[in-house]
Amino acid sequence: MARRTAPSRRAPRAESPRTARAPKGPGRVVEPPAQPGKAPFDIDPVLGRIREAVRHFADAAMFALAARGHDSLFEQLVACILSIRTRDEVSLPASLALLQRAATPEALARLSPEDIDTIIQPVTFHEAKAWQLHAIATRTRDEFGGELPCDAQVLQSFKGVGPKCAHLALGIACGHEAISVDIHVHRVTNRWGYVRARTPEATLEALEAVLPRAYWVELNRLLVPFGKHVCTGTRPRCSTCPVLRFCRQVGVTDAR
């Protein structure tokens, strides 16, 4: 059970869990409730402060791979599948090991699923992912001439690829304006009170209605490290958070 801090040291709380409850059905954009001492929520300074705050943290795995030259759509899709339910500290070395062995669909299709499984052993669900990756490589070689098209529908037609991976890979590799909502983006944007949604899918829908397009790809890049180090799943570090004055802290009941 999480240890509680003395009330006097807690960061100020926003709404009670009762008022913070998200509505049923699709996500929606809400006007964050006014609170004494809080500034009106403004996404520009909020993301500017977070950009500065995460400068010294490691990039999320797919951005880190792109910075190392693994920035093709195929490589990004492979890396995203490996990152599902797996920490970056594990998925990034596994992605590098696999891509150093086979960075193209043709090369990956030449490996057997068993070979791929051996290389990606540390990754969660490695056996199922090995078969999925082999199928994607084979289909890309046979149906698309070895080059994946920048098409979300095509990417999501592959087993194991949902909107989160498709959007992030398309944003990084193809320059598409697409929001990728993982558990960090979902949690943080709902705590801000910027959107109100029960699921990452509903959060995506709500963000598409309100977030300026210039931030659609960058949002994931900023909020993954911010969610890992500052706005953590349990006991977020609100007292030292750079966006405390803007954030409605929806649903936060125990903060550091």
Residue 164 is a catalytic residue: yes
Whose tokens are 């995506």? That residue is 204
247 binds ligand SF4 (CB under 6 A): yes
Q: Which of 46, 79, 53 is nearest to 172 (CA)?
A: 79
- Contacts (Cβ under 8 Å, ≥6 apart) of 193: 14, 30, 32, 33, 41, 247, 248, 250
Q: Which of 90, 241, 253, 254 binds ligand SF4 (CB under 6 A)?
A: 241
Q: Which of 66, 84, 109, 244 binds ligand SF4 (CB under 6 A)?
A: 244
The number of residues that bind ligand SF4 (CB under 6 A) is 14
Q: Which of these segments, 62-70, 103-111, 168-176, 243-251, binds ligand SF4 (CB under 6 A)? A: 243-251
20 binds ligand SF4 (CB under 6 A): no
SS3 per residue for 178-203: CCCCCHHHHHHHHHHCCEECCCHHHH
Provide the β-strand partners of residue 196: 28
32 binds ligand SF4 (CB under 6 A): no
Q: Which of 115, 237, 253, 254 binds ligand SF4 (CB under 6 A)?
A: 237
Q: Which of 39, 97, 74 is nearest to 161 (CA)?
A: 74
Whose tokens are 């979300």? That residue is 152
CB 221 within 8 Å of CB 76: no
The residue among 136 and 252 lying less far from ligand SF4, judged by its C-beta, is: 252
Q: Which of 108, 123, 206, 243 binds ligand SF4 (CB under 6 A)?
A: 243
Catalytic hit among 24, 159, 164, 228: 164
Whose tokens are 């693994």? That residue is 70
At 59, list the tokens. 């990039």
Q: Which of 1, 167, 191, 235 binds ligand SF4 (CB under 6 A)?
A: 191
Q: Which of these segments, 99-107, 164-172, 210-218, 236-244, binds ligand SF4 (CB under 6 A)? A: 236-244
Per DSSP, the three-state class of 242 is coil
Amino acid identity for residue 94 in this structure: A
The residue among 165 and 238 lying less far from ligand SF4, judged by its C-beta, is: 238
The residue among 120 and 243 lying less far from ligand SF4, judged by its C-beta, is: 243
CB 219 within 8 Å of CB 211: yes
142-181 footprint of ligand SF4 as x/- string (CB under 6 A): ----------------------------------------
The span from the CA of 170 to the CA of 179, in Å, is 10
DSSP per position, 146-183: T---S-HHHHHTSTT--HHHHHHHHHHHH--------H
Catalytic site positions: 164
State the residues that interact with ligand SF4 by CB under 6 A: 188, 191, 230-231, 236-238, 241, 243-244, 247, 249, 252, 255
